[in-house]
Structure 1
Amino acid sequence: MVVETYVDRARERVTAEREAVDAKHEAFGAFADRVAELPTEQSPARGVTATVTATGARFRADVSTDDGCRAVRRAFAETVRPHSVADEDGGEPLLATVRKEFTDAIAVALAPTTGTTFSAGLERSLVAEVDARRAEIATTSRALDRERSQLADAAAAVDGITAWIADADETPLTDLGFEALSRRHRTLATHRERCEELAHERQTFLRGTTSRSAEARVGHRSLVGYLYRDFPVEHPVLATAARLDAVCAECQRAVRDHLVRRA
């Protein structure tokens, strides 16, 4: 008897998402590094080359403060944006992505139409937002690790039960004596209890959260809804546990019928 499960597919999905989240965390770090290298209107650029003219006037030979916001937009487009729009069609405007990842105020400040210079205050706001986003991403990574651990435990239970069912199907019930039938019936009851435990453990997990602070918090139910939104079932573990329990119940009824006829 073949039992279709979704646990292995769910494990693949979590692994892929964990890799994507790690890449996005690194992208925010790269963005922060590039922002830190830009001059603000209060401070000169790092590595600036200054020249003294005949009149003694000085000028800087690299990025001016007026070009700072343009440089920030370029840095964001080349680091964070590819990871932010990975699941979309790529038509989202750059500043809409900035707004989504940071705030409306930062998106407005960086817009070319506002004529904002890259001030120290804007830099501080960006750094604060990057730190907050990296904290959120790190929390998501921890939640994904907990989901991966949950799926590993579920896979071990499911694989054990399905392997037993496949092995038991090799021997027809008509070839078993009364005691062997009784043992099979008890084993199936144990498997059904494990399915019930699996479902209970999963429900408990779904009601929980992973958090590092009041601001960085991931609800497991919302995470699962996001991870498996394209699956044929909404909850792979619960669906598998329910299906496996139904299979074991069907097998139990068949064994019980043979037991009754032989009693």
Structure 2
Amino acid sequence: MTDLTVVHRAVACLEGERDDVADRASALETFAREVRDVPTASGPAQAAGTVPATPKAMATAVGSATATPQPSDDRCETVKEAFVETVEPHTIAADDDSLVETMAAELSEEIAVSLAADADWTPALKRAVLEEVETQHRKTVLLEETLQRERRTLEEAIDEIDEIVGWLRATADESLLQCGFDDLREKHDRLETHRDRLETLTDERQRQFSGETNPRGTADYRELVAAIYADLPVKFPLLSTAARLYGICGDCQRTVRAHLSRRA
């Protein structure tokens, strides 16, 4: 039953993922603070009541030829450097992705293009960056909550699994030939109870994957779990362990049943 330890190894994978997500949340918060500290350009184009409020409108305003030209400065470069130092290490961008591609994935294509072109660091552009960072931070917080629920699920399942495995190991060396009819019946019933518990555990896990038991109806929960445990030999360690243990209990039950039949 050594292969059943895969569900315990899943805990280490989950903790690693939780650490990564926490680091990303911290990086986003740091980036937001640094962005707020970068002063914006000023001029008629940013007059009160005329600043676009959305990233797409902001990009249009930044590129507008009618706006009063602003002196070139390195404010966008400062923002890009802050992004590289804080957020970029915690993205899932491919190794060959450019900085523009990574910023586009994290902030939006319009913002990435504006920053890459060293456009004026206007109040509209600054606000758009902060809004996108806040959106990413909310997603990260939601993921942290999801990972916390996954941790509780694992802990509860491991308690069930450890109890069943403990009983199987404690009775493994007992000779069924030395057991009386009542003892055999008790073992048979205990094994049936264990199988029922494992079946319930499996059903609850499948309901999680279908979104039935997730507070926000996380439709991609299955994909998230598969990604978390990608380094394990099985994609779904909890289900795999439960299925394997269910089969072991079934084999033991059939053996006990055979002995019961001979005693009847």
TM-score, structure 1 normalization: 0.84
Task: State the 1:234 CA deviation.
Answer: 2.1
Query: Deviations 1:65-87 (Å, cap 9, x if unpaired)?
Result: 621110011000000111115x8
Of 70, 92, 99, the match for 1:94: 99
Contact 1:199 1:241 in 2 (8 A): yes
Of 198, 202, 214, the match for 1:199: 202
* Aligned CA distance change for structure 1 residues 38 and 65 (closer, same or farther; 3 Å): farther
Partner in structure 2 of residue 124 of structure 1: 127
Task: Return 5+ residue gaps in structure 2 as ranges.
Answer: 44-70
Query: Deviations 1:2-49 (Å, cap 9, x if unpaired)?
Result: 552421111111111111101100100000111111111129xxxxxx
1:79 counterpart = 2:86:
yes
For 2:3 and 2:260, the matched residues in 1 are separated by: 25
Of 162, 167, 186, the match for 2:165: 162
The alignment partner of 1:6 has SS state of: helix
% same residue: 37
For 1:101 and 1:26, the matched residues in 2 are separated by: 15
Partner in structure 1 of residue 225 of structure 2: 224
Partner in structure 2 of residue 235 of structure 1: 236
Task: State the 1:95 CA deviation.
Answer: 1.7
Q: How is 1:48-87 mapped onto 2 (pairs within 5 angstroms)?
A: 66-85=73-92
For 2:2 and 2:106, the matched residues in 1 are separated by: 45
User: One-letter code of the match for 1:203?
Assistant: Q
Contact 2:209 2:219 in 1 (8 A): no
The alignment partner of 1:42 has SS state of: coil
Of 104, 112, 125, the match for 1:107: 112
| Cα RMSD for the two superposed structures | 2.0
Moved segments of 4+, more than 3 Å: none
Partner in structure 1 of residue 6 of structure 2: 6
Query: Deviations 1:91-125 (Å, cap 9, x if unpaired)?
Result: 432222111111111110111xx341111111010
Partner in structure 2 of residue 254 of structure 1: 255
TM-score, structure 2 normalization: 0.83
For 2:202 and 2:219, the matched residues in 1 are separated by: 21
Contact 1:22 1:141 in 2 (8 A): yes
For 1:260 and 1:125, the matched residues in 2 are separated by: 75
Partner in structure 2 of residue 55 of structure 1: none
The alignment partner of 2:74 has SS state of: helix
For 1:210 and 1:33, the matched residues in 2 are separated by: 31
* Aligned CA distance change for structure 1 residues 260 and 3 (closer, same or farther; 3 Å): farther
Contact 1:41 1:118 in 2 (8 A): yes
For 2:74 and 2:215, the matched residues in 1 are separated by: 41
For 2:164 and 2:98, the matched residues in 1 are separated by: 50
For 2:251 and 2:223, the matched residues in 1 are separated by: 33
For 2:251 and 2:80, the matched residues in 1 are separated by: 61
User: One-letter code of the match for 2:126?
Assistant: E
For 1:261 and 1:74, the matched residues in 2 are separated by: 78
Partner in structure 1 of residue 40 of structure 2: 40
Query: Deviations 1:143-172 (Å, cap 9, x if unpaired)?
Result: 000111101111001000000000010212
1:183 counterpart = 2:183:
no
The alignment partner of 1:206 has SS state of: helix
